[in-house]
Amino acid sequence: MAESWQWQTAYEWMAEQMERRIGKRPKPDIYPLWAWSQWRDAIHRKPDLRSFGHLAPGTRGVRLACEIPDEQILLSDFLLWHHALNYGYLSLSQAEEEAFETELALCGLTHMPSGPLSDPVFHQRILDSWQRIFDLEDIGRPDWIGNQTQDEKAIQGTFWQLSLDQVREITVFTSRWSGLGSRKFL
């Protein structure tokens, strides 16, 4: 898969952030568990199981509602997390984005490399820009990404482990299409 290096970079970065912010992994080979804190917004906290995208249609699944102490979970903006997944620079404005791309071009680098940037300074600037996914209260510019209030954001949480006593509700479901019946996606 062409984007596997991007995803690996992002997931390793997230694991490093978790170790810094909520503590070390319980075991060296453990990777983060992922959950929704707010699926769509503060009103729609739980994922709507009628929605497209959870599982392939007809597949049985389980939704868990869990209670995890604040000090054991790292919350982040789901939409902005996609910048990390795509190895993108997370700018606060179009002007900042254009300035970064201009700097890259002047150094003979491209914004969409086939691997991590060879220049360690630019690579670190990209990684540092991802810190912005944790600022859930920043509304951002109205004409740019991340311009939602905290109550309007989709917020994900990552944590190292889940114990049975943290599970509050179990919902078994069969995945289906949302809305107007089957849809064709290319």
Residues 90 and 130 sit within 8 Å (Cβ to Cβ): yes
pLDDT at 180 over 90: no
Token pair 């002007």 in the structure block, residue = 95
Q: Which position has the higher pLDDT, 1 or 44?
A: 44
Phi/psi at 103 (5° precision):
-60, -45
**pTM of structure:** 0.86
Per-position DSSP letters for the chain, written without gaps between them:
-TTHHHHHHHHHHHHHHHHHHT---SSTT---EEEEEESSSSS--S--TTSTTSSSTT-EEEEEEE---GGG-EEEEHHHHHHHHTT----SSHHHHHHHHHHHHHTT--SS-SSS-SSHHHHHHHHHHGGGGG-TT----TTSSS-S-GGGS-EEEEES---GGGEEEEEEEE----SSS-----
pLDDT of residue 143: 66
Angle at alpha carbon of residue 21, lines to 20 and 23, rounded to 5°: 70
pLDDT of residue 181: 46
Query: 105 exposed, middle or buried (CB, 10 Å; 0-12, 13-18, 19+)?
Result: exposed
pLDDT at 33 over 80: yes
pLDDT bucket at 146, cuts 50 / 70 / 90: low
Calpha distance 115→6 (Å, rounded): 7
pLDDT bucket at 184, cuts 50 / 70 / 90: very low
Tell me the pLDDT of the chain averaged across its residues: 86
pLDDT at 165 over 60: yes
Please compute the mean of the pLDDT values over residues 38-48 and round it to a whole number.
Answer: 83
